[in-house]
Amino acid sequence: MNPQSSTNQIASRSDIHSLRIAIVACTIFLGAFLLFQVQPIMGKYILPWFGGSPGVWTTCMLVFQLLLFGGYAYAHILSSLFGLRAQASIHAVLLMAAACTLPIAPDTSWKPTGDESPSLSIILLLLAKVGAPYFMLSSTGPLLQSWLGQSRCIEQPYRLYSLSNLGSLLALLSFPFLVEPNLSSYKQSFLWSASFILYAILCGATSCLVSRSERRVADGVSAKAAPHSNSRTLLPIQAGWFVLAAIASVLLLATTNQVCMDTAVVPFLWVLPLAIYLVTFILAFEHERWYQRRPYIMLACISFIALFAMKGLHFEVELWIEVAAYFSGLFFSCMVCHGELYQRRPAHHELTRFYITIAAGGAFGGILVGIIAPNLFHTFLEWQIGLLSVVAVFAWTYLDESQSWKSRFTLPMRLAMVTSAIFVTAITVSWSSHRPGTLQETRNFFGILSVVETTDPQTHEPIRNLVHGRIVHGSQFLKSELNTTPTTYYSHNSGVGRLLLSMTTTGRKIGVVGLGAGTIATYGRPGDKFRFYEINPDVIDLANRYFQYLPRCTAQVDTLVGDARLLLEREPDQDFDCLVLDAFSGDAIPVHLLTSEAIDTYRRHLNDRGALAIHISNLYFDLRPIVAGLAHRAGMELVVIENKGMTDNEQDSTWAILTRDPTVTDTLSPIAKKQNPKNQSRLVVWTDDCSNLMEVLR
């Protein structure tokens, strides 16, 4: 044979091999990118329909984790029972079937009516609209890595798992900074659907290249037929994989819940912990050099101690320091879990079994946090349980057969682990008990509500508060001469108080979005009609049982359960004299209540002299550009009233008053500067199809 010809053949085979690897890598990267890009896309669609609660994201994560497990199980079964050619054919058919379910955008028929289970509705919606494509995408990583291993195209297929997680991370980070600000929801769903078609084509090309690369393997004689290494110990090893993945998943979801409910319910904080979780996967699976057991355990223990100092001992720190402590603990703990997973990885012929076990553990963690914990606990105890579990993992990782217990546990390590275990236990005990003065605590899909009785620090009078996370949603003095006095954000000096007091006509019709403790009902007079819209049924129950605002109101009071905008869209014109939007004083912003379409609905329900009062007090978002944009688009007058809470029973508040009747704003102008929306330095107009919270982030 001609040596030159032989050299050319070798070079040609090398080029084909490199091309094959490049196509597989691109397919895995694109599949992972689409897998995690669709999560915020769908979340943005459905979050407004279900009240903007963190429970929406937790339920979405549960569905995606279950679908991920299903995809991994499919990859394992396919690679175990069929040869490469059969696998490629079956996968191609299922990809075409999934493509037939596109596009992914849900239509308005999926909007809830108000009386169904939010969790069940979200699950059914996601399964119907994105279930099939997500299922196929989730199988990409393990299946294609298995194909490479079976065809002997690559020696270390696990490194492609790191590439997969890199694609997932870029998808998450690109959404809030590039995709959401520049593309409408419709365009996002259209481009995602088109990209899925491209992915399907790449996947088909990959199957053709890999199945032809090794005929002996493709005909069924493959590496998967090799005997299992250490088969007698496979079951306990698999149990270890499952436990490590489950604990990391619990920590991810529980930390997200804990930060949102205890620090800030900001949607950006939903993406950040998931990004941290993916970074630990990337580092752990890229190479062994990124994971050193002892430093990560030490740093995790330090994070736990810092968290106890801040939360258990009530040290006051800046918000960013508190969030950093939560997320550093998550990072170091997940780094230990995922680093140990990589160190315990099997040979490539057990690759799909390894991934399906990881997915099963992740799904189990999602079920614990998303389904079991809300029905079992009245508080967010799953976070503390996750911390205790990861401390147990720290101890377990040091029980190695090759070295003695004493040699593995150095004195600093023993001190750090014992101290962190004590602190985590203290956190669990202290946070599992009710705070002093708690009369009742309830938990449902929308979060945790507490009724707390305490003493007002200024008046020294007994007072009862309705608390959701860190936000007080209403207070009432218990003394009979004071318990009809409007408090907090609704005092006589507040914007809504001044507006309602200025309406001297009889027989007023007042609509209120957000009940709280029912404080606004104190402004009711005989002949008035108050209509409250409240999405959380527990709020209605607690307001009637523990507060006297509603029972003592002399006006006619009606309370409707459900999302206010959906209810208002279905109702006939209410002819309101005033419609109060009080859904923004917390940290979660129901964006769908502040869009152009929403303002059209509100205007339909107002009479000619009617006014729209929007409570825009918020720690994290500046809503002035939004209300100015709404007023400008709707051709309405705008007055912004700030109250500094000078008296004992009121808090700082900012209210925006919008109306088509200039006499209403003229009445309020002595105590508030009348503003022309056109002259505002910045106008932000949101629509149902295009909105971006980063525009108004403080």
Band (pLDDT 50/70/90 cuts) for residue 140 is: confident
Q: Which of 205, 225, 245 is the last residue of a domain?
A: 225
- Whether the pLDDT of residue 555 is over 90: the answer is yes
Two structure tokens written together for 180: 């959401």
Note whether 126 and 246 are same-domain residues.
no
Give domain status of residue 284, yes or no.
yes
CA distances to 39, 108, 158, 312, 562 from 111, rounded to whole Å, are 18, 5, 42, 41, 11
Note whether 213 and 242 are same-domain residues.
no
CA distance 271 to 266: 10
User: pLDDT at position 411, please?
Assistant: 55
Q: Would you say 533 and 605 are in contact if contact means Cβ atoms under 8 Å apart?
A: no
Q: Hunting for tokens 């149902």 — which residue is that?
A: 688
Residues in CB range of 185: below 8 A, 6 or more apart: 41, 44, 45, 105, 688, 689, 690
pLDDT tens-digit readout, 7-16: 444 445 555 5
User: pLDDT at position 399, please?
Assistant: 59
Give domain status of residue 456, yes or no.
no
Give domain status of residue 475, yes or no.
no
Higher pLDDT, 678 or 37: 37
Name the most confidently modeled range: 4-18, 407-421, 534-548, 667-681.
Answer: 534-548
Q: Which of 399, 415, 433 is the last residue of a domain?
A: 433
Note whether 416 and 511 are same-domain residues.
no
Give domain status of residue 482, yes or no.
no
Q: Would you say 82 and 73 are in contact if contact means Cβ atoms under 8 Å apart?
A: no
Expressed as residue numbers, the domain containing 347 is: 227-433
Give domain status of residue 172, yes or no.
yes
Note whether 187 and 247 are same-domain residues.
no
pLDDT tens-digit readout, 236-260: 788 888 999 999 999 998 888 777 7
pLDDT tens-digit readout, 87-125: 888 888 899 899 998 888 887 778 776 666 677 888 889
CA distance 269 to 349: 38
- Whether the pLDDT of residue 218 is over 50: the answer is no
User: pLDDT at position 226, please?
Assistant: 38
User: pLDDT at position 389, please?
Assistant: 83
Instruction: Characterize the bridge pairing of strands 509-513 and 576-581.
Output: parallel
Give domain status of residue 47, yes or no.
yes
- Single out the residue of 25, 34, 62, 31 nearest to residue 171, CA to CA: 34
Average pLDDT over residues 450-469: 82
- Whether the pLDDT of residue 266 is over 60: the answer is no
pLDDT tens-digit readout, 556-575: 999 998 888 888 988 999 99
Residue 518, helix vs strand vs coil: coil
Average pLDDT over residues 192-212: 82
Note whether 288 and 343 are same-domain residues.
yes
Which amino acid is residue 506, in one-letter code?
Answer: T
Note whether 243 and 215 are same-domain residues.
no
Note whether 357 and 419 are same-domain residues.
yes
CA distance 283 to 165: 9
Q: Which of 179, 210, 225 is the last residue of a domain?
A: 225
Give domain status of residue 449, yes or no.
no
pLDDT tens-digit readout, 576-618: 999 999 876 555 567 778 889 889 999 999 999 999 999 988 7
Q: Is 519 exposed, middle or buried (0-12, 13-18, 19+ CB in 10 A)?
A: buried
Look over the chain and give the mean of its residue pLDDT values, rounded to a whole number: 79
Q: What sign has the CA pseudo-torsion 126, 128, 134, 135? A: positive
Structural domain count of the chain: 3
CA distance 496 to 327: 39
- Whether the pLDDT of residue 233 is over 70: the answer is no
Give domain status of residue 454, yes or no.
no
Note whether 214 and 280 are same-domain residues.
no
Strand partners, 650: 488
Determine which helix (DSSP H) or strand (DSSP E) holds 331, and give its type and residue range.
helix 319-343
Note whether 190 and 320 are same-domain residues.
no
Q: What percent of the chain has pLDDT over 90?
A: 19
CA distance 366 to 351: 23
Band (pLDDT 50/70/90 cuts) for residue 414 is: low
User: pLDDT at position 497, please?
Assistant: 92
pLDDT tens-digit readout, 627-646: 999 999 888 989 988 888 76
Average pLDDT over residues 414-430: 59
Name the most confidently modeled range: 137-141, 156-160, 298-302, 493-497.
Answer: 493-497
Determine which helix (DSSP H) or strand (DSSP E) holds 431, and give its type and residue range.
helix 411-432
Note whether 206 and 337 are same-domain residues.
no
Q: Report the CATH number that the domain containing residue 561 is assigned in CATH.
A: 3.40.50.150
Q: Report the CATH number that the domain containing residue 88 is assigned in CATH.
A: 1.20.1250
User: pLDDT at position 231, please?
Assistant: 46
Average pLDDT over residues 338-343: 87
Note whether 584 and 623 are same-domain residues.
yes
Phi then psi for 167, rounded to 5 degrees? -60, -40
First vs last Cα of the chain: how many Å apart? 74
Note whether 211 and 237 are same-domain residues.
no
Strand partners, 653: 643
